[in-house]
Chains A and B, each alone.
Chain A
Amino acid sequence: MTKIITTIAFFICSLLSAQTQFEQGMGKAFGLWKEGKNTEASAMFERIASAEKNSYLPNYYVALINTTAAFTEKDKTKLDLMLTKAQDALDIEMIKDQNNAELYAMQALIYTAWVVADPMTNGQKYSAKVMEAYAKGKAIDPNNPRVVFGEADYQLGGAKWTGVDTKPLCAQIDKAVELFGTFKPETSFSPKWGLERALESQKNCK
């Protein structure tokens, strides 16, 4: 599960010739993230979010950076703060728009990070919430690859060692890989990560 972070692909958009301030700012923030400067990248996205109230993307990336970083964080206090920050950023966008499958996929990822951090304490509480978030995402957009993949991958963990038939879940992962192939992000900054992780999961499914 902790591999999620290492395999999430960061996509850096190529700078277009006619750049707006938003594009420039986003580009710079992605640059910082790619360099591994998570704090700076998160701060930059936060600044953009404070200025651009009409786009959900800056806050989405604040949530994504902090959540993926939390998967590898060992210090429990820091981990709590990171996930709280991610949740706060996501909440701002969730209030504005309850009809965005990407936000639900993000929500599920935050809950997954809580589960991974301490399965004994958080497992029962958040497992159902992870599934609920994916279900909501699916209701909005049944073909969002991150939702389809996330839901199947999360269940795969539990199913493998209890000996439940994993075939239907693997079929979902195959479907997700296909969806990643045909997925067209709305803008150049829209979420498009996840294919690499899905391919790896697909390999292990066979």
Chain B
Amino acid sequence: MKTIFLALASLFSLALFSQNTISGKITNEKGKPIAGASIYIEGTYDGATSSGTGEFSFETTATGNQFLIVSFLIYDTYKQEIDVANFKNQTVKLRENVNALDAVIVTAGTLESGNKARVSVLKPLDIVTTAGSAGNIVAALQTLPGTQTVGEDGRLFVRGGEASETQTFVDGIRVAQPYGASTNNLPTRGRFSPFLFSGISFSTGGYSAEYGEALSSVLLLNTQDEPDQNKTDISFMTVGLGLGNTQKWKKSSLSVNTAYINLAPYQAVIPQDVDWNSPYQSLSGETVYRYHFTNGIFKLYAAFDSSKFDLNQKNINFEDKIRTDLNNNNFYLNASYNGTFGTGWHLISGISYGYNTNKVKFNESDVDSDENAAQLKLKLKKHFSNYFNLSFGADYFITKFNENFDDNIALKASNGYDSNIAAFYTEGDILFSKYLALKVGLRLSNNSLLEETNIAPRASVAYKVSRSSQFSFAYGDFTQTPVVDYIKYSKYHQFESEKARHYILNYQFTKPGQTFRAEGYYKDYSNLVQYDTKEIQYNSFFSNNGSGYAKGLDLFWRDSNLYKNLEYWISYSYIDSERDYKNFPTMATPNFIANHSLSIVTKYFITDWKSQIGFTNSFSTGRPYNNPNETKFMNGKTKSYNSLSFNWAYLLTTQKILYFSVSNILGSQNVYGYDYAKLPDANGVYNRQAVTPTADRFFFVGFFWTISQNKNDNQLKNL
């Protein structure tokens, strides 16, 4: 090998007089030889590849001072000016490139999905092909550890936190109203179709200082930078119709999605537990416009959703059913710019505006509310080296909320609040080596409504112990303005922010096709709002003296190597949590917490049938409820919850898909909890009514058709 080089090198230079031999050895930082590195004199053909012992030698006809370059895949490229006459038997040490794919990353608290994620717990297709998720991002996330299935609510409950403790962000900017409107134990779903997002990062705690106003969790959704191609998507479903179109130009693109949902035909066929006067109907649309500049990308995301329903529900306190008539309109706009400038600078800025109006009629009473929420965001990041990055930024949140109550007899009331929050944060990422990384940040926020300033430190560290496993630890302080139910009474009472402190220890093991995560956490809640009346009312006595804790263990295992075409994951969560908040007389476990939860998701692709078949089983132990007939508070426990869902996607052709899904095939009679009468009956007993799903099973049949130039594309990802 060496002789060939020498022979050829001498051939090259026959006509020349001077020749210099360059020789030496390539090693890593620890002195271990590196084989296969490329060594050459810049701008010439003269060079060699290091041997098994890391040694190299070649001749060059270049003279004087030249640049010697040494490069190898996973190492930083070495470039050094040398005197060619004088470079023999030298050792060149290469430094490992910390951006290489196997470098350590902080993973405590964060579950990632999408193309850019290093370790993806959910793949892009999973949101839509997980049985039981029915295209609802939130439902798919509920198969991950750390979440609780709260069937009568539908929102994300994370590690002992209320649903309101999770904030949703689109392209880094907060979405004030991420869920569809709902009421009285009817579950809601996320407003966003998974179609327009390329990456999802779900943090169950310990997140970056960039995010505030969230006690438990943040859900980060990133819209696609670039759509695949021009296409039209059409869907016919048992619950409605959908239409989407994408246009792509040289530097820009536009995607539009619309859907009309009407549950009338479905509710006519499948018996329901409530009487619908008028079925659930919604008209929604989303659009994303993207423009690529030389050094950045501008995105405009807008979503509109109008929905309504009218139903009668049994209520234990009344003989007749209660009628609820709801109308909701929601608009969300988000514009962002993400780009680079100068040397190593990265700018992310954006603005969002959300408008939500609810008109609800409970029998004769009217409750109308509207909320305007806006955010301004600016973030700068400076890349000093592969070993150090610094980011800092500012946020400004504006919220105006107003609610009018009118019982149409005697009582009229109006409540609301204006809130302005200004926040600044800074965060440093330090990589000591490929094996040790540290992230330290600080968030400072001022809330004008609460008249308070908070400082929240955050820190996380990750250490890689072997090629496939690493530990990380995260710590953070988090604050959040109390929910609207309280602060709408701000004119009667001065509230304070609620607080949480997280400690998280994470272990992660990854191999191609396999991921195992174990995470233990402790969460300390303080400053929670308490009140002294049965219901929250303007003249309740409020305080911020509540407290609580949550501790537990989350396990996750995902594997695709066991059997060809089979993918599965298993999530298990154990939680122990108690709170003394709201109008609790004592510390107790809130009714949305089940101590043990287990989800098993499987997907199997059958090539001969052109089908993907999936099963999801969700199990959780009983949830507490308070039985006023017993002296001990929150002493009751429901039976355990179980739901087995099934889905089947059949490819008629590459562009036409028939999709079928059914939730809770076994028809388990699940009970989420009990509503007790406010007053005892003649025998002194408080009667109760079970909170159950409106129907045991949910069936769905849809036909999805994609029209595009590329005959291979289909809507499998949209299901």
A interface vs B, CB < 8 Å?
A: 21, 24-25, 28, 39-40, 42-44, 46-48, 50-51, 76-78, 80-82, 85, 120-122, 124-125, 127-129, 131-132, 135, 154-155, 158-159, 161-164
Contact = CB atoms under 8 A, between A and B. Distances in A.
Given A43-B38, A124-B125, A154-B712, 11 more contacts: A21-B45, A40-B1, A46-B38, A47-B45, A47-B47, A50-B69, A77-B100, A125-B124, A127-B713, A155-B711, A159-B654
B567 interface: yes
Contacts of A162: 610, 651, 653-654
Given A120-B567, A121-B115, A43 B713 contact: no
A80 B560 contact: no
Contacts of B567: 120
A25 to B, nearest CB: 5
Question: Which 6 A-B residue pairings sit nearest by Cβ, starting from the closest?
Answer: A128-B228, A43-B38, A131-B710, A76-B512, A81-B73, A158-B712
Contact of A128 (B42, B43, B102, B713): B713
B368 interface: no
B54 to A, nearest CB: 14
Nearest to A132: B229
B432 interface: no
B8 interface: yes
A77 B654 contact: no
Contact of B101 (A24, A50, A80, A159): A80
A135 B47 contact: no
Contacts of B45: 21, 25, 44, 47-48, 51
Contacts of B49: 39-40, 43
A131 B709 contact: yes
Interface residues of B, number: 44
A128 B124 contact: no
15 contacts: A39-B38, A43-B38, A44-B45, A44-B47, A46-B38, A50-B40, A81-B101, A82-B73, A85-B73, A120-B123, A121-B124, A122-B115, A131-B712, A132-B229, A158-B711
B11 interface: yes
A131 B708 CA distance: 11
A164 B101 contact: no
A50 B654 contact: no
Q: Interface majority SS on A: helix, strand, loop or mixed? A: helix
Given A24-B11, A77-B102, A164 B711 contact: yes
A164 B115 contact: no
Given A85-B73, A125-B115, A131-B229, A164 B654 contact: yes
A22 to B, nearest CB: 9
B162 interface: no
Contact of A81 (B100, B120, B560): B100
Contacts of A163: 610, 653
Contacts of B653: 162-164
Contacts of A120: 123, 125, 560, 567
Interface in B644-662: 651, 653-654
B345 to A, nearest CB: 22
A127 B123 contact: no
Interface string B559-580: 0100000010000000000000
A97 B710 CA distance: 25
B242 interface: no
Contacts of B102: 77
A163 B712 CA distance: 12
Given A24-B12, A85-B73, A164-B654, A47 B38 contact: yes
Contacts of B38: 39, 42-43, 46-47
B97 to A, nearest CB: 10
B47 A43 contact: yes
A12 B310 CA distance: 76
Contacts of B42: 50
B36 interface: yes
A162 B102 CA distance: 37
Contacts of B120: 121
B251 interface: no
Given A51-B43, A77-B101, A120-B123, A161 B610 contact: yes
A164 B651 CA distance: 11
B44 interface: yes
Nearest to B126: A120
A163 B711 CA distance: 13
A78 B709 CA distance: 34
Contact of A124 (B8, B124, B610): B124
A51 B62 CA distance: 12
A158 B706 CA distance: 15
A37 to B, nearest CB: 8
B654 A158 contact: yes
B654 A47 contact: no
Contacts of A164: 653-654, 711
Contacts of A21: 12, 45
Contact of B40 (A47, A122, A159): A47
Nearest to B565: A120
Contacts of B654: 158-159, 162, 164
A142 B92 CA distance: 49
Interface in B588-615: 607, 610
B425 to A, nearest CB: 32
B717 interface: yes
A30 B625 CA distance: 75
B484 interface: no
Nearest to A123: B125
B36 A39 contact: yes
A25 B45 CA distance: 7
A82 B71 CA distance: 13
A81 B74 contact: yes
B429 to A, nearest CB: 22
Interface in B214-238: 228-229
Contacts of B71: 46
B46 A47 contact: yes
Nearest to B8: A28
Contacts of A42: 38
Chain B CB within 10 Å — which of A120, A154, A163 has the most? A120
Nearest to B43: A51
Given A128-B228, A161-B607, A121 B710 contact: no
A125 B102 CA distance: 22
B712 A155 contact: yes
A77 B118 CA distance: 11
A47 B713 contact: no
Nearest to B47: A47
A120 B653 CA distance: 19
A162 to B, nearest CB: 5
Contacts of A50: 40, 42-43, 69
Contacts of A28: 8
Nearest to A40: B49
A149 B223 CA distance: 34
